Amino acid sequence: MTSTPSASLLHSAFYRFVPLSDPQAAAVQLRSLAHALQGSILVAAEGINGTVAGEPQAVAAFEAALQQADVLAGAFRGMPFKHSECATPPFGRLKVSVKPEIVALGLPQDPAAALPPPDERDASHLSPEAWRALLARDDVVLLDNRNHFEFRLGHFRGAVDPQVHNFSDFVAYVQAQAPAWRAAGRPVAMYCTGGIRCDKTAPWLRSQGLDVWQLDGGILNYFQSLPDAERDWQGECFVFDKRVALDTRLRETGTTAEQVFDPTLPDEAWRLQRARRLDGAGG
């Protein structure tokens, strides 16, 4: 799979778990700040989750504006952004949506045992260098917290695939394996594309009595930080936009949706149909 021509657009991915008392008002402000960009921003009472793209100077201006003190009381100051260049425009328009959650993972809801909120800055987050050192241990469970099709396209060498086709599959897999992991005293090293799925699920995994570590900033930060990331990574990394997949240098690979999704599997067939529809519509 060949790399694409030189890029002219910049892609920025970001999220933050922070209580928002008025998600609708936050969405209005975000639409105004991101008016020169294309992409998708989800807003909920628990925070924001966004991917946007545009001319590099427009992306930089948006990121700077988002972190100003007058934007939602400075809630997004210091928020990290993960960048990759684009030869293919990854989005057709800007969409800012208010949702019940900024990432929906189907975690068990037990009001009698409420979980602590996600914390993307706690001590369980490992830098790419520390993550590489952890992977060298033979007692670690290296757990991929993504969909099965994402794992199939590429993953850390030695990672476990929980075979996630639906939200509930990850929960069921962990519940089935947790007793053995606990008994053997095996820590869980968990990763996902940008970090948000791991942040959302980490409190629940700890409620299962597991010792959990996370890759700070996810796969994208690993690729961005380590020029030799291919030492630890096999294949490509799926991204949820028109570029489809990136290599360890954060370059588009030329992989198509038809090469990613298996149309014989219901959860992948609709994704393939959606990818074709969006590509044909240019949005």
What's residue 111's pLDDT? 60
The pLDDT assigned to 282 comes to: 46
Query: Domain-by-domain residue ranges, the chain?
Result: 9-98, 111-281
| Run of H or E including 266 | helix 266-281
Note the pLDDT of residue 113: 64
What secondary structure does DSSP assign to 153-197, as a single string? HEEETT-B----SSHHHHHHHHHHHHHHHHHTT--EEEE-SSSHH
C-alpha of 95 from chain center: 18
Q: Is 237 an annotated catalytic residue?
A: no
Burial class (CB in 10 A: 0-12, 13-18, 19+), 129: exposed
- Residue 25 is predicted with a pLDDT of 95
How far is Cα 187 from Cα 198, in angstroms, rounded to an integer?
A: 15
Name the DSSP class of 257. Answer: H
Catalytic residue chosen out of the listed positions 86, 192, 198, 237: 192
pLDDT at position 114 is 77
Q: Looking at the domain that runs over 111-281, which CATH code has it been given? A: 3.40.250.10
CATH of segment(s) 9-98: 3.30.70.100
Give the model's pLDDT for residue 123: 96
Residue numbers in the chain where pLDDT is lower than 70: 1-7, 110-113, 280-283
